[in-house]
Structure 1
Amino acid sequence: MLRRDFRAGELTLLGIALLIAVASLTSVGFFTERVQQALKRDATQLLGGDLLVSGDAPLPKAWQQEAQRMGLRATNTLTFSSMVSTDDVAQLSAVKFVEPQYPLRGSLKIADRMGGEAREAGRIPPPGEAWVEERLLSALDVKPGDLVSLGKIKLRVGALITFESDRGNGFFNFIPRIMVNAADLASTGLIQEGSRVRYRMQIAADGSGADARKLVDRFEAWVKPQLGGGQQLESIDNARPEVRGNLERIQHFLSLAAMLSVVLAAVAIGLCARRYLQRHLDGCAAMRCFGARRSQLLGLFLTEFAMFGLAVAAIGCVVGFGVQAGIAALAGSLIKADLPLPGMLPVLHGLVVGVALVVGFVAPQLLHMTRVPPVHVLRREWGGPEASTLSAWSAGAIVLLGLFLWVAGDIKLGAWVAAGFAGACLVFALLARAGLSLLAMARHRDGGMRATWGLRYGLAAMHRRLSASIVQSVALGLGLMAMLLLGLVSSDLLRGWQHSLRPDAPNQFVLNIQSEQREPLQAFFREHHLPELELLPMIRGRLVELRGKVVVAEDYKEDRARNLADREFNLSYSSVMQEGNKIVAGQWHGDAPQSGSVFSMEEGVGKTLGIKLGDSVVFDIGGQRVAGTVGSIRKLDWDSMRVNFFFTAAPGVLEAMPTSWITSFLLPPGRGADINALVAAFPNLTVIDVGAVIAQVQDLTSKLVRVVQFVFAFALIAGAVVLLSALRATHDERMHELAVLRTLGARNPQLRAAMLSEFVVLGVLSAILATIGAVATGYVLAIKVFDISYDPDWLALSGYVLMAIIGVVVCGWLGVRGLLQRTVVDGLRSVA
């Protein structure tokens, strides 16, 4: 029976829909498992040791001494951003100072020249030498053996870094890397007040057995109670949390794309199962006449679909494995690791999904089908599939909800996703129902529409098959909306963000300015005819108390709140409120004497950390504590690209604290030589080209979008399968209707016009639903997430609507054009 049904085409669309669902989910599963296995396999290499202690201030020497006393090896690294230059060019770089024995675990590979063979370094750069990445060589236009300037010293380029197993992620992945011996750190003069430096101590035991692990665990237990603010431990259990965080974000996006494919595929499976029921009622009734029991029929059909579901799911797993290779290739620049082959868990997931979809959407139909009475072979009075519709779709919805919760791996996330899809389907269904009702009313009115027989009959057919028309519109609307969001709306949001940047917005930031450099720096800018600088004081401090309670990062649930609670803030002081700031609560302190220490707080950080107007706060600044109250709350214009601070103190609060200065300015085009001269005159300064950083962030975002779009292609295919399934679900009914109309004198051109009108209306309706949903989502993202204005490109949207309508019409017509070639007798016999 399986072979016969497959040969007859009864299971083709159902199989395609099931294949799409399994392939989309397993491709995501294969990819994420490969990355997770790589993280687990290379955990110690990612850390550079068996344990990593990091902080934003120098780590106590006693910790390294204690580790060595316990029989462990220890070495230190420092990372920060700074300018590397030649006489002609300056480039912002990620600087890494390393000590002997680095890395304790993992690998460091170098080459002698660009394109040269990579080899294990087996050492670190000697004093006076620097190892750089190829990108830095290209940016500075130098070659091995040339000199580059770093701070106050010149270093000879000794080798090219080709691989660094413990390289961090985030901003330091954007900019070129330079590695220097820690013995050269003091002579560079780069570590100044206000410098943002990350200190890391790598710990490793000799060997890798249980005894070695016990030594590491012993040191971890000893050092953990001594950790202070901004200090943390990373071990093989939580190796590279920033990589895991990025992986989780990518996985969530991919899971959402895969789940959308599953939703659309499930709708297609349900429609195919309904048609299967209709076409096999006669066979079931005949078998009942020959004595077949209901349990026999149910076992027969369940066995057929179980075999079919497992076979298709297995093929889907193979397709998913091939697709994940494409995902891994697209994400290769984001996850720089040699990914191992995945295990069998995604295969198990795929098989379970295949069986679950079959059971959820086919079994309820089969249960109803096997109840067909034997008399059905003589009389067509039995209720048929309509009686099973509610139970079938209810069972399918329960299965889908279970799959959502399981695939998401998080009950809250899965529940929100399920609720979001259900809400979108409900809104789309209501809009589709309203639209079809309005069109049905319009066709009864006098006028041009009444004179157009094809359009009038097409609307009547859609209204007669109202449920199928709504399902088609909703499914196509969801699929088209997903593609529209990834395409046009994302471009509109990016354009809106770019347009929010003022033409006179600064594009260069200068950090690490020391107090004695302020006047010479102003003189340099005047000499080079650059804008007058607004130098602002910057003091680094950590929030340690709020409303009299110690601030502990673990007390916050959100990642952003934990990060803010565990980091040092850039504080400032001023009597004049900066441009782009607006008081939304309280009163700006000004320069009037205050009864106590007063801070003005940025609105967003207050919402994240739960700080309100009038709350008491205590900051730790280089071991000194400064207490105060929140006297005002400011809303900042971050798009101004000017220097802004989360907390700005009133005069007399922070002036005695260790201070560096920061500024931003607009560098006119073609003035890059002035930056090179600035770095040469003030080698300790860090100059950040914001335009270049934004371009790098946009490049990373575009890569992530391509990865997600790759998986969202399944949703587009699933949408087309839904359309074909819906058309096939009414295929026999449509053939009978056409036969009746031809018997009554309708000609092929009239019938063709009627069907094309129906598809045009369906395309218009689904495209309008997709546009409404995408634009509404775009507005929500713009206002709630990006805090920008959203101005859709209506011309592009109109073009997209037109393309969607044409696609629906063409796809629908290809599915039914053969009906016009059938004879009247064939059509009448289809329900005989």
Structure 2
Amino acid sequence: MELHESASRLASALGAPIKQRLRLPLVLRAALRDFRGGLRGFGIFLTCIALGVAAIAGVGSVSLSLGDGLAAKGRAILGGDVSFDLAQRELKDPERDFLASHGRLSGVAIMRAMARREGGEAALIEIKAVDRAYPMAGEAVLDPAQSLSAALEESNGVYGIAADAALPARLGLSLGDRLDIGDAHFELRAVLVAEPDQLAAGIGFGPRVLMTDTALRATGLLQPGSLVRWLYRVALGDGGASPASDAEVESFVAAAQKAFPDAGWETRTRKNISPQFSRNLDRFTQFLTLVGLTSLIIGGVGVANAIRGYVERKRTTIAILKSLGATGSTVFALMLTQMLLVASLGLAIGAVIGAALPFVAAWGFGAMIPFPIAPAIHPAAIGQGVLYGLLTALAFSMEPLGRAHDAPVQAVFRDEIEPSRARPRLRYIVFTLAAAVSLIAAVFAFTADRTLAWIYLAATLAAFALLRGIALLIMAGARRLPRARHVALRLAVANIHRPGALTPSVVLSLGLGLALLVALTLIDGNIRAELKAGLPGATPSFFFLDIQNAKAGAFAEFLQAHAPDGKIAFAPMLRGRIVKLNGLAADAAQPKASAAWVLQGDRGITFAESVPEGSVIVKGAWWPSDYKGPPLISLESDVADGLGLEVGDEITVNVLGRNIAGKIANTRKVNWRTFGINFVLVFSPNSFAGAPYGDLATLTFPDGGNSSGELALLRETAQAFPAVTTIRVKDALEAASQLVGQLAIAVRGASSVALLASILVLGGALAAGRQARTHDAVVLKTLGATRTRLLAAFLYEYGLIGLCTALFGMAAGGAAAFAIVRHVMNLDFAWLWPQALTAAAAALVVTIFLGLLGTWRILGRKPAPYLRDL
């Protein structure tokens, strides 16, 4: 009765004569009139489209809002209009005079050190020493509220500090308590709540401690070769309320580079505060966008199922329209219009949610995000999500909609017992391919990393093909199983391989989402395990920095006395910045993404007579121990490949304001996993003759050490050598693990959208087969089957399909995680069985639950109404 009423509404809207070519407004009017009965059957369709669009538009909008926040507060975050960053040296007088002549100049020094309570604990800190001009933009927030000068001033030979809240917690300090840093005495006068230039200054492993530059010099930590960064900020002009224009800023940077081409400083402007952060944000956004696109494509399977079910429900209506004179093209246009109307609603819902996400992030998580966020409506990000959603809807809808073109008129009478299985016409296959190609083109158009796009598309296509093959294998295997004695099990096996079985839909919908979940879970778990678990006897327990070369022998004797079973290693260490590759400026180089980091900022470098432990020569040869010729360089092999360099090529490095050019003598493979002493760049020993440098040392315990012994050694080292910075590897890895955990939250959030889409698609696939299941149940009940037996048959069926899909998802996700962890991250891979099995068990439970949820209603249907239609 309902179908005839629907047909009547459509026929009334189309009017007579129906054989005439229809104009779009008439088709649109007919489509809208048919929707008067509601959108029943389109719930999964709407939700899948809305979820995918919301994920893509939301990720893009949040990323752009973060970028806008950085741009809007760039001057305050950078600490001026331009920043000149130097490693291990201060400005020379000509450089200082030049910068000061263009505006206000402020200098900040950043270095690691140890803070000590007298006779008590010691803790690693990040010193930030500022001058009187700091801050030139923004304001440092202290608790209790007071001026920065009052908090940091000297009083009776004791300097004041403002420290991050973590320091008093670690050392048990209260306001007014005293502590020692280097050779100077300090008093904790305030807790550092916020600093305007925190992002530009970098995020360290220890609590931030703010002090004056005079206090830093009093500590005795500034020795030749000390690992210290000097940041010189310039506020152009008078630095007042009307800052210099962007053109003036760029002109000043160019003039500084021209005046001092060999200064070796890294320049940053208020528009480019943190190049590394911007690059990482772009990459992370691309990754999350592709994860969101995955959820949209998974949802596309739900779209196809929903449209296929819609066409099946409308077959009688279509047959009636055709019997009244409607053409196949008219029917296709009508149903396409209806699909686009529903898709537009889903696109609008997703766009609204995505547009609101930056505001939700700023409101709910603004205090937790360490970067400024400026929430706003971003049409570009929203448009990208809407375009992806529309193309996905078209790509997955055209083929099932095309089947409506040739739906036979006799379906009114015979479709229940003789359904049509005709393929769609060639034109609709072409439409489907065109939409799919357009979606692929959009992925490449919006993704800066084309390699990543190729990998993603290849993986997606391979996943679809593999899942289809797995479904066919499951059906073929079920068909070849011996005839079961148990009736319910026999019915279940038959349902798995019969024509129109749910197997392909269930495997496809659940397999993609589960594989993604397992892969991300295993990658996250392996990274955390790598950070937490060292290699006893190979992974150092301590790094010691800023060891004055003259005191290296005394320090080695100290370690041997306090840790006699430990292995001690020393290496000279300087900081330098690669400025040229084969005479070409590093800024103009085009390295691979995997090696671009080497050209960003300054790097640790060393010199050695022999091959460092943990390195293996790949190409070339090591220099003789008595080599006295021009500087030679040993370069890490993966970096050499990423920079496009070979043995014999030239690298110029700026160290302590001096350019040193050296030829690559060899490339070597480095085992970074031991966390031992090793460097990307190793020079021949004569390269830095006469240059001031400090030593880096490691201490490795054969059994991996223990916490109580390590903490005791840390305290004793801080007391005996106050200028030496001690880094406990376990603490550093724990800090890195926390950062990985923060990133994992965003990844899990995006992947949960894909998993939710999988569950929705699974529910839609099960719902789409409800009509056929109802007829099967009616016939079986007529032949004497009980409700219990039918329920057992459905339970076996869903359980078997879900189990096979879960096993595949676990295997595919594990394989993807293995490839990424071993070949991309170069880490050892371990199967984390509890996490993988939990995900597989959850998938199995969801499949059975959704299947039985839909089946329960079927079992209660009376046979008579359905038998009358046969």
Does TM-score exceed 0.5, indicating one fold?
yes
Specify the code of the residue in structure 2 equivalent to 1:434: L
Secondary structure in 2 matching 1:451 = coil
Correspondent of 1:195 among 226, 229, 232:
226
Return the offset for 1:611. 3.6
Specify the code of the residue in structure 2 equivalent to 1:609: L
Return the offset for 1:792. 0.8
- Structure 1 Cα separation of the partners of residues 263 and 458 of structure 2: 39
TM-score between the two structures when normalised by the length of structure 2: 0.85
Inter-CA distance 55–776: structure 2 relative to 1 (3 Å threshold): same
Specify the code of the residue in structure 1 equivalent to 2:509: A
Secondary structure in 2 matching 1:243 = helix
Which range moved further: 807-816 or 19-28?
A: 19-28
Q: Does 1:783 align with 2:822?
A: yes
After superposition, what is the alpha-carbon deviation per residue over 1:574-602, rounded to whole angstroms, capped at 9, x for unaligned? Answer: 44544433344455556466887655443
Q: Does 1:140 align with 2:164?
A: no
Inter-CA distance 634–395: structure 2 relative to 1 (3 Å threshold): closer
- Structure 1 Cα separation of the partners of residues 491 and 63 of structure 2: 51
- Structure 1 Cα separation of the partners of residues 104 and 698 of structure 2: 43
Structure 1: unaligned runs, 5 residues or longer: 113-117
Secondary structure in 2 matching 1:194 = coil
Inter-CA distance 826–486: structure 2 relative to 1 (3 Å threshold): farther
Correspondent of 2:252 among 205, 219, 224:
219
- Structure 1 Cα separation of the partners of residues 603 and 610 of structure 2: 20
Inter-CA distance 648–768: structure 2 relative to 1 (3 Å threshold): same
Q: Please name the residue that 2:555 is paired with.
A: 521
Q: Please name the residue that 2:143 is paired with.
A: 111
Q: Does 1:766 align with 2:790?
A: no
- Structure 1 Cα separation of the partners of residues 758 and 177 of structure 2: 59
After superposition, what is the alpha-carbon deviation per residue over 1:611-659, rounded to whole angstroms, capped at 9, x for unaligned? Answer: 4345555555446666655444433332333222334455655554433
Q: What is the correspondence of 1:89-128 to structure 2 with a 5 Å cutoff?
A: 89-112=121-144, 118=145, 121=148, 125-127=152-154, 128=159
Return the offset for 1:782. 2.5
Q: Does 1:161 align with 2:200?
A: no
Contact 1:539 1:657 in 2 (8 A): no
Specify the code of the residue in structure 1 equivalent to 2:183: K
Q: Please name the residue that 1:719 is paired with.
A: 758
Q: Please name the residue that 2:404 is paired with.
A: 369
Structure 2: unaligned runs, 5 residues or longer: 1-30
- Structure 1 Cα separation of the partners of residues 93 and 658 of structure 2: 21
Correspondent of 1:757 among 793, 796, 805:
796
Contact 1:540 1:571 in 2 (8 A): yes
Q: Please name the residue that 1:487 is paired with.
A: 521
Q: Please name the residue that 2:281 is paired with.
A: 247
Specify the code of the residue in structure 2 equivalent to 1:439: A
After superposition, what is the alpha-carbon deviation per residue over 1:288-325, rounded to whole angstroms, capped at 9, x for unaligned? Answer: 44455667655654554444333333333444456666
Inter-CA distance 452–82: structure 2 relative to 1 (3 Å threshold): same
- Structure 2 Cα separation of the partners of residues 415 and 563 of structure 1: 23
Contact 2:355 2:378 in 1 (8 A): no
Return the offset for 1:26. 2.9
Q: Does 1:537 align with 2:568?
A: no
Inter-CA distance 763–392: structure 2 relative to 1 (3 Å threshold): farther
- Structure 2 Cα separation of the partners of residues 504 and 219 of structure 1: 49
Return the offset for 1:537. 2.5
Equivalent residues, number: 819
Q: Please name the residue that 1:604 is paired with.
A: 638
Q: Please name the residue that 2:375 is paired with.
A: 340
Correspondent of 2:708 among 670, 673, 682:
670
Specify the code of the residue in structure 1 equivalent to 2:298: L
Q: Does 1:700 align with 2:739?
A: yes
Which range moved further: 642-651 or 189-198?
A: 642-651
After superposition, what is the alpha-carbon deviation per residue over 1:139-194, rounded to whole angstroms, capped at 9, x for unaligned? Answer: 23223333332222223333222111211269624421111222333332222333
- Structure 2 Cα separation of the partners of residues 351 and 596 of structure 1: 60
Identity of aligned residues (%): 23
Q: Does 1:268 align with 2:302?
A: yes
Specify the code of the residue in structure 2 equivalent to 1:457: L
Inter-CA distance 44–604: structure 2 relative to 1 (3 Å threshold): same
After superposition, what is the alpha-carbon deviation per residue over 1:207-246, rounded to whole angstroms, capped at 9, x for unaligned? Answer: 4558655543442332243454742332233233233233
Correspondent of 2:671 among 637, 643, 661:
637
Contact 1:133 1:160 in 2 (8 A): yes
Inter-CA distance 541–311: structure 2 relative to 1 (3 Å threshold): closer
Return the offset for 1:372. 4.4
Secondary structure in 1 matching 2:722 = coil
Contact 1:82 1:95 in 2 (8 A): yes
- Structure 1 Cα separation of the partners of residues 563 and 451 of structure 2: 57
Contact 2:391 2:436 in 1 (8 A): no
Which range moved further: 714-723 or 557-566?
A: 557-566
- Structure 1 Cα separation of the partners of residues 250 and 533 of structure 2: 53
Inter-CA distance 533–777: structure 2 relative to 1 (3 Å threshold): same
- Structure 2 Cα separation of the partners of residues 358 and 646 of structure 1: 49
Q: Does 1:691 align with 2:718?
A: no
Q: Please name the residue that 1:115 is paired with.
A: none
Correspondent of 1:185 among 216, 227, 233:
216
After superposition, what is the alpha-carbon deviation per residue over 1:382-435, rounded to whole angstroms, capped at 9, x for unaligned? Answer: 956642685575355335425534554655543432222112222232233223
Inter-CA distance 601–425: structure 2 relative to 1 (3 Å threshold): same
After superposition, what is the alpha-carbon deviation per residue over 1:417-475, rounded to whole angstroms, capped at 9, x for unaligned? Answer: 2222112222232233223323322x2x4xxx432343333333332346852242122
Inter-CA distance 331–604: structure 2 relative to 1 (3 Å threshold): farther
Inter-CA distance 331–539: structure 2 relative to 1 (3 Å threshold): same
Q: Please name the residue that 2:493 is paired with.
A: 459
- Structure 1 Cα separation of the partners of residues 423 and 501 of structure 2: 11
Q: What is the correspondence of 1:61-460 to structure 2 with a 5 Å cutoff?
A: 61-70=93-102, 72-87=103-118, 88-112=120-144, 118=145, 121=148, 125-127=152-154, 128-168=159-199, 172-204=203-235, 205=237, 206-207=239-240, 209=242, 215-225=248-258, 226-228=260-262, 230-291=264-325, 300-320=334-354, 329=364, 333-337=368-372, 339-362=374-397, 365-366=400-401, 368-369=403-404, 372=407, 374=409, 376-378=411-413, 380=415, 383=420, 386-387=423-424, 390=429, 394=433, 397-398=436-437, 400-405=439-444, 408=447, 411-441=450-480, 443=481, 445=482, 449-460=483-494
Inter-CA distance 587–8: structure 2 relative to 1 (3 Å threshold): closer
Contact 1:193 1:658 in 2 (8 A): yes
Contact 2:770 2:854 in 1 (8 A): no
Contact 1:86 1:148 in 2 (8 A): yes
After superposition, what is the alpha-carbon deviation per residue over 1:49-78, rounded to whole angstroms, capped at 9, x for unaligned? Answer: 2222323243444455345444x3222222
Which range moved further: 344-353 or 304-313?
A: 344-353
Secondary structure in 1 matching 2:569 = coil
Secondary structure in 2 matching 1:180 = strand
Secondary structure in 1 matching 2:540 = coil
Return the offset for 1:27. 2.6
Q: Please name the residue that 2:27 is paired with.
A: none
Q: Please name the residue that 1:505 is paired with.
A: 539
Inter-CA distance 687–309: structure 2 relative to 1 (3 Å threshold): same
Which range moved further: 41-50 or 188-197?
A: 188-197
- Structure 1 Cα separation of the partners of residues 247 and 335 of structure 2: 58
- Structure 2 Cα separation of the partners of residues 557 and 629 of structure 1: 19
Which range moved further: 15-24 or 409-418?
A: 409-418
Return the offset for 1:269. 0.6
TM-score between the two structures when normalised by the length of structure 1: 0.88
Contact 1:584 1:634 in 2 (8 A): yes
Specify the code of the residue in structure 1 equivalent to 2:135: P
Contact 1:361 1:392 in 2 (8 A): no
Return the offset for 1:507. 1.4
- Structure 1 Cα separation of the partners of residues 369 and 736 of structure 2: 12
Correspondent of 2:80 among 36, 42, 49:
49
Secondary structure in 2 matching 1:101 = coil
- Structure 1 Cα separation of the partners of residues 401 and 328 of structure 2: 10
